[in-house]
Amino acid sequence: MTWQTLCGSLNGLMGANAIGLVLLCSAAAAANPGEPLVLNSQARNPQALYPQEWLQAAETASQLSVTAFKQSPVLRQRSLPPVEQRLPDDPVVIAPYDSIGRYGGTARVIDEDVPMFCSQEGLFTIAPDHKTILPNLAESYEYSADGLQLTVRLRRGLKWSDGQPLTAADFLFATNDLHLNTAFQPITPPELIGLALHAVDRWTLVYTFPQPSPFFINNMAQLPELYMAPRHYLQQFHPRYTDEAIIAERLEKMGFLNWQTFIAAALQQRRIPELVNKPTMRAFMPVEFTPSHSRYERNPYYFKIDPTGQQLPYVDAIEAEDVGDTAVAVAKASTGQLDFAGFRLPTQDIPLLKLGEKSSGIQVKIWRRLHGSDLAIQANLNHPDPRLRTLFQDVRFRRALSLAIDRDEMNEIIYFGRGVPRQVTVIPESDYFEPAFAIAYTQYDPVTANGLLDEVGLADIDGDGMRELPDGSKFIPTVEYVDTETPKQISMELVASYWNAVGIDVRPRLIDRGLQLARARSNEFVMTLWHADRTTDILFPGNPDFWVPRKIAASLAMWSEWSRWYLTKGVRGERPPPDIIELQRLADEFSTTMDPVRRLRLGKQILAANADQLWTIGTVGLAPQPVVVSERLKNVADEGLWGWDIRGTMPYHPSTWYLDR
pLDDT in tens, 201-254: 999 999 999 999 999 999 999 999 899 999 999 999 999 999 999 999 999 999
The pLDDT score that the predictor gives to residue 26 is 38
CA-closest candidate to residue 493, choices 484, 503, 485, 483:
483
- 223 vs 124: CA distance, rounded Å: 10
Answer whether 631's CB lies under 8 Å from 362's CB.
yes
Region 512-518: mean pLDDT is: 92
Task: For 643-656, write each residue's pLDDT tens digit.
Answer: 999 999 999 999 99
Has residue 142 got a pLDDT over 80? yes
- 333 vs 110: CA distance, rounded Å: 9
In degrees and rounded to multiples of 5, residue 116 shows phi and psi of: -75, -30
The helix (run of H) or strand (run of E) holding residue 220 is helix 216-222
Has residue 14 got a pLDDT over 50? no
Has residue 312 got a pLDDT over 70? yes
The pLDDT score that the predictor gives to residue 324 is 81
Percent of the chain with pLDDT over 70: 94
Answer whether 136's CB lies under 8 Å from 303's CB.
no
Instruction: Report the largest interatomic distance among the alpha carbons of the chain, rounded to a whole angstrom.
Output: 83
Region 532-561: mean pLDDT is: 95
The pLDDT score that the predictor gives to residue 44 is 81
Has residue 3 got a pLDDT over 50? no
List residues bridging with 199 in a β-sheet: 205
- 483 vs 490: CA distance, rounded Å: 9
Task: For 63-121, write each residue's pLDDT tens digit.
Answer: 999 999 999 999 998 999 999 999 999 999 999 999 999 999 999 999 999 999 999 99
Region 117-128: mean pLDDT is: 97
**Domains along the chain with CATH numbers:** 1-38 (no CATH), 47-365+624-659 (3.40.190.10), 371-621 (3.10.105.10)
pTM of the model: 0.91
Has residue 533 got a pLDDT over 60? yes
Answer whether 657's CB lies under 8 Å from 636's CB.
yes
Confidence of residue 43 (pLDDT cuts 50, 70, 90): confident
The pLDDT score that the predictor gives to residue 8 is 52
Cα–chain center distance at 456: 37
Has residue 25 got a pLDDT over 50? no
The pLDDT score that the predictor gives to residue 232 is 98
